[in-house]
Amino acid sequence: MSARIATVSRDTNETQIKVSVNLDGEGRLSSQTGVPFLDHMLDQVARHGMIDLDINATGDLHIDDHHTVEDLGITLGQAFFKAIGDKRGIYRYGHAYVPLDEALSRVVIDFSGRPGLYMNVEFTRDTIGSLDTQLFWEFFQGFVNHARVTLHIDNIKGFNAHHQAETIFKAFGRALRMAVAEDPRMEGQMPSTKGSL
């Protein structure tokens, strides 16, 4: 397969974002979003997904983190969609269970071409650091809509909100890694009976 890399920019009145992805990377992150806990979570995605991410985001953080987090999800999704190409030869599906102490989360993804987010998470706190936990849904919704994937996220247990979030993002990275990996038995083939995704 050719190099699976992409760079996407998003420039609005609320945010200016540039995202570069390498799906066959070494798990490296360079991220400046202005939202520290989000950078920490993106580091989990890169490291556990073995995906290189280069992210620069400037947003209207004087209002709140909402636009930056949502638009980053959108831009990251666009970059994945561009980098994955026609999806020939990939595994397509990915899943992971990840624990962190008392917390356990499951993430399942399908590069189906059909956007759908099914997120069953009850955070035990409204904020982690200064980040509103409602914004995780906005991030994943933006990603799903623009990467055109089906994504199921379930936090099965946990009482520490930091641990809940971290297990979700680590599992997301692991599921991505599995789904985008090249399947030697599917080389050149579309992983769908439809013939396209």
The per-residue pLDDT for range 12-33, each reduced to its tens digit, is 999 999 999 999 999 999 999 9
Query: Which pLDDT belongs to residue 168?
Result: 99
Asked whether 74 and 146 are in contact (CB, 8 A), the reply is yes
Rounded distance, CA 188 to CA 109, Å? Answer: 21
Query: Which pLDDT belongs to residue 130?
Result: 92
- Give per-residue pLDDT as tens, 75-85: 999 999 999 99
- Give per-residue pLDDT as tens, 91-114: 999 999 999 999 999 999 999 999
Rounded distance, CA 101 to CA 108, Å? Answer: 21
Average pLDDT over residues 144-171: 98
Query: Which pLDDT belongs to residue 55?
Result: 98
CA angle 31, 69, 76 (to 5 degrees): 60
Residue 29's contacts (CB-CB under 8 Å, 6 or more residues apart) are 39, 42, 43, 45, 46, 47, 52, 53, 54, 55
| Residue 6, CA atoms < 13 Å, CB-side half-sphere | 16
Site of tokens 């997120």: 119
The structural domains of the chain, ordered by start, are 5-180 (3.30.230.40)
